[in-house]
């Protein structure tokens, strides 16, 4: 028995997210079906975590147990030959049997792309959120720095999430710019449901001058989701890397 | 009568190219129909030049004559409200009546994206050509530098093109890299039919060690298309900017 870790890139536009759902096609289901086509085995693939419907991944990870005789190094090419063109396996490697993509995870990195041009984007339309208003980059960077560190992030957790311990550590929250595209990156010990998208909605309000930078510490202290900004669209969100 | 210059971005995946064709939907037709919806006028839009089926544009330009009373500054938003999401007008401005997007053009800039990762890309699959083989960046940069300057580019012209004067000037041919994506840029006085795609096919052969760098001057001198490399896929090609 082997325990294989896959690194998977996907364009989430046409999926209900990573995790199997009743209401549509998930990336997990497509990957499990591809593994079955290649190995003949029906397996359960454990992702590092859910990704939202319409969100993307450059480096989602997942593991599964298999008795296949296909050499691990050949798995990416074999799987890519049967996967649809919006999902690609970037890497496969053999791990200790107790490795679990979700429970062994040490940190994650996300990216959120905001297109700040005056008119809507065409080429990158699936991969960014269009904000035509002027944004104050300095204020947003200050806000990002206030989000770094260990905090109770309850205020940035989607209503309805059942998680009770909301303390997480954000190691790094940065902003870079390439022409009209603003690229926000967040690396942290873990992220609550919709946390990046709600933090982004809040940071963008700060960028628009609708909310002062100084609001961030009070907001964290309040633990009240209704005081934070809106949940921005999933299409700007990328799971970049999962650390073990 | 006003003469309006549009700057247009498009994802060319679903079009037969810029120019109207009998065999499918062109960007030109869609833009002309959008103008008719907004102004009520049937106009002919002059593009700066054709773009290939499946190729993209970040800054295609086009002009048209109109009597519309819509203020020029409002045209991008008005047109974008009726255009499909893979075409966007970035800018509109009023030009002298004798301005013509094609004949007034002084220079053009193209970009070609090569994804050099080992496995196929998922997110950027529509916007790059996947070359999994190792590529020698130094050799490719040397080749690009040999393409700069004023030359007869006949050897890089698609067979069947009727253009007779093939002397063009390439002001700049560069290569940059962002992770696994290689970004080639070409700025020149003008480009022959398929010229960027055939130059790219030739430069990539040099990168793979299939052709020596020193071959470039001989190739230019030969004026023989059959001695150059293959025409690489249109999906990696972007018309970035048209200069006037």
* Same domain membership, residue A192 and residue A115: yes
Chain A residue nearest residue B10, CA to CA: A122
A101 in a domain, yes or no? no
| C-alpha–C-alpha distance, residues A68 and A71, integer Å | 8
| pLDDT of amino acid A162 | 81
**Record: contact A89-B56, CB cut-off 8 A:** no
pLDDT over 90 at B161, yes or no: no
Q: What is the pTM of this model?
A: 0.94
- Residues from chain B contacting residue A123 (CB–CB below 8 Å): 9-11, 56, 58, 127, 238
**Cα angle vertex B42, ends B10, B48, to 5°?**
40
How many domains in chain B? Answer: 2
* Same domain membership, residue B130 and residue B66: no
| C-alpha–C-alpha distance, residues B168 and B170, integer Å | 7
B100 in a domain, yes or no? no
Residues 6+ apart with CB under 8 A from B98: B3
| Four-CA torsion A29, A31, A34, A36, nearest 10 degrees | -70
| pLDDT of amino acid B27 | 98
Q: At B1, is the pLDDT very low, low, confident or very high (cuts 50, 70, 90)?
A: very high
Of the residues B95, B118, B139, which one is the last residue of a structural domain?
B95
* Same domain membership, residue A184 and residue A116: yes
Of the residues B47, B62, B95, which one is the last residue of a structural domain?
B95
B63 in a domain, yes or no? yes
In what helix (H) or strand (E) does residue B75 lie, and over which residues does it extend? helix B75-82
* Same domain membership, residue A187 and residue A147: yes
Q: Specify the residue for token string 């896959």.
A: A6
Chain B residue nearest residue A119, CA to CA: B90
CA neighbours within 13 Å on the CB side: how many for A13? 12
* Same domain membership, residue B133 and residue B46: no
Q: At B53, is the pLDDT very low, low, confident or very high (cuts 50, 70, 90)?
A: very high
Render pLDDT for B86-120 as a digit per residue (tens, 0 to 9): 999 999 999 999 999 999 999 999 999 999 999 99
Which stretches of chain A drop beneath a pLDDT of 70?
none
Average confidence score pLDDT of chain B:
97
* Same domain membership, residue A166 and residue A201: yes
> How does DSSP assign B6-72, residue by residue?
EEEEE-GGGSS-SS-BTTB--HHHHHHHHHHHHHS-----EESS---TT-EEEEEEEEEEE---S-G
Q: At B163, is the pLDDT very low, low, confident or very high (cuts 50, 70, 90)?
A: confident
| pLDDT of amino acid B101 | 98
Closest by CA to B175, choosing from B140, B216, B125, is B140
Phi-psi region of B235 (alpha: psi -120 to 50; beta: other; left: phi over 0): alpha
* Same domain membership, residue B223 and residue B121: yes
Of the residues B41, B64, B95, which one is the last residue of a structural domain?
B95
**Which of B9, B60, B73, B122 is the best substitution to test chain A (most A C-beta atoms within 10 A)?**
B122
Q: From the candidates A11, A22, A52, A134, which is the catalytic residue?
A: A52
Is the Cβ–Cβ distance between B112 and B195 less than 8 Å?
A: no
- Residues from chain A contacting residue B90 (CB–CB below 8 Å): 117-119
B137 in a domain, yes or no? yes
Chain B residues with CB under 8 Å of a chain A CB are 9-11, 56, 58, 76-77, 80, 85-91, 117-123, 125, 127, 238
Q: How far is B173 from chain A (nearest CA, A)?
A: 20
Domain of residue A31, residue span:
2-95
| C-alpha–C-alpha distance, residues A6 and A28, integer Å | 12
**Cα angle vertex A240, ends A216, A21, to 5°?**
90
pLDDT over 90 at B164, yes or no: no
| pLDDT of amino acid B97 | 97
**Cα angle vertex B38, ends B37, B43, to 5°?**
70
* Same domain membership, residue A49 and residue A7: yes
B101 in a domain, yes or no? no
Render pLDDT for A167-181 as a digit per residue (tens, 0 to 9): 999 999 999 999 999
CATH of the domain at B90: 3.30.70.580
Q: At B123, is the pLDDT very low, low, confident or very high (cuts 50, 70, 90)?
A: very high
Q: At B188, is the pLDDT very low, low, confident or very high (cuts 50, 70, 90)?
A: very high
Q: How far is A87 from chain B (nearest CA, A)?
A: 5
Gap between the terminal Cα atoms of chain B: 22
The two three-digit tokens of residue B242, written as one number: 């048209």
- Residues from chain A contacting residue B89 (CB–CB below 8 Å): 119
Question: Taking the alpha carbons of B222, B224, B225, B228 in that order, is the dihedral positive or negative?
Answer: negative
* Same domain membership, residue A227 and residue A114: yes
How many angstroms separate the Cα of A225 from the Cα of each of A132, A159, A184, A198, A207?
26, 7, 21, 9, 19
Outline where DSSP puts E strands in chain B. 2-10, 46-47, 56-66, 87-95, 107-115, 129-130, 149-152, 167-178, 181-188, 237-243
The two three-digit tokens of residue B135, written as one number: 């590529």
Q: How far is A105 from chain B (nearest CA, A)?
A: 24
**Which of A58, A113, A123 is the best substitution to test chain B (most B C-beta atoms within 10 A)?**
A123
| pLDDT of amino acid B201 | 98
B138 in a domain, yes or no? yes
Alpha helices of chain A — where are they, by DSSP H? Answer: 27-39, 75-82, 137-147, 195-207, 215-222
Query: Which one of B85, B90, B117 has the shortest CB-CB distance to A119?
Result: B90
Residues 6+ apart with CB under 8 A from A48: A60, A61, A62, A101, A102, A105, A108, A239, A242
**Cα angle vertex A191, ends A189, A196, to 5°?**
125
Render pLDDT for B214-228 as a digit per residue (tens, 0 to 9): 999 999 999 999 999
Is A174 annotated in the active site?
A: no
Q: Which active-site residues of B does the annotation give?
A: 52
Give ipTM to 2 decimals.
0.92
Render pLDDT for A17-55 as a digit per residue (tens, 0 to 9): 999 999 999 999 999 999 999 999 999 999 999 999 999
CATH of the domain at A231: 3.30.70.660
* Same domain membership, residue B151 and residue B44: no
A100 in a domain, yes or no? no
């Amino acid at each position: 028995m082997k325990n294989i870790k896959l690194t998977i890139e996907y364009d989430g536009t046409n999926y209900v997210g990573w995790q199997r759902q009743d209401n549509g096609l998930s990336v997990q289901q497509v990957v499990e079906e591809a593994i079955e086509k290649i190995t003949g085995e029906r397996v359960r693939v454990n992702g590092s975590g859910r990704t939202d419907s319409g969100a993307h991944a450059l480096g989602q990870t997942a593991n599964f147990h298999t008795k296949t005789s296909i050499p691990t190094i050949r798995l990416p090419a074999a799987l890519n030959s049967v996967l649809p063109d919006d999902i690609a396996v970037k890497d496969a490697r053999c791990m200790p049997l107790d490795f679990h993509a979700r429970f062994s995870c040490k940190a994650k990195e996300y990216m959120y792309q905001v297109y700040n041009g005056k008119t809507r984007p065409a080429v990158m339309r699936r991969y960014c959120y269009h904000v035509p208003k002027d944004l104050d980059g300095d204020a947003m960077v200050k806000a990002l720095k206030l989000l770094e560190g260990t905090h109770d992030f309850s205020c940035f957790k989607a209503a309805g999430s059942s998680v009770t311990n909301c303390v997480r550590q954000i190691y790094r929250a940065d902003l870079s710019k390439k022409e009209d595209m603003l690229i926000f990156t967040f690396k942290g010990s873990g992220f609550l449901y919709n946390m990046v998208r709600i933090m982004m909605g809040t940071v963008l309000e700060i960028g628009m001058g609708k909310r002062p930078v100084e609001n961030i510490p009070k907001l964290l202290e309040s633990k009240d989701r209704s005081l934070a900004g809106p949940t921005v669209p999933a299409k700007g969100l990328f799971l970049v890397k999962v650390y073990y």
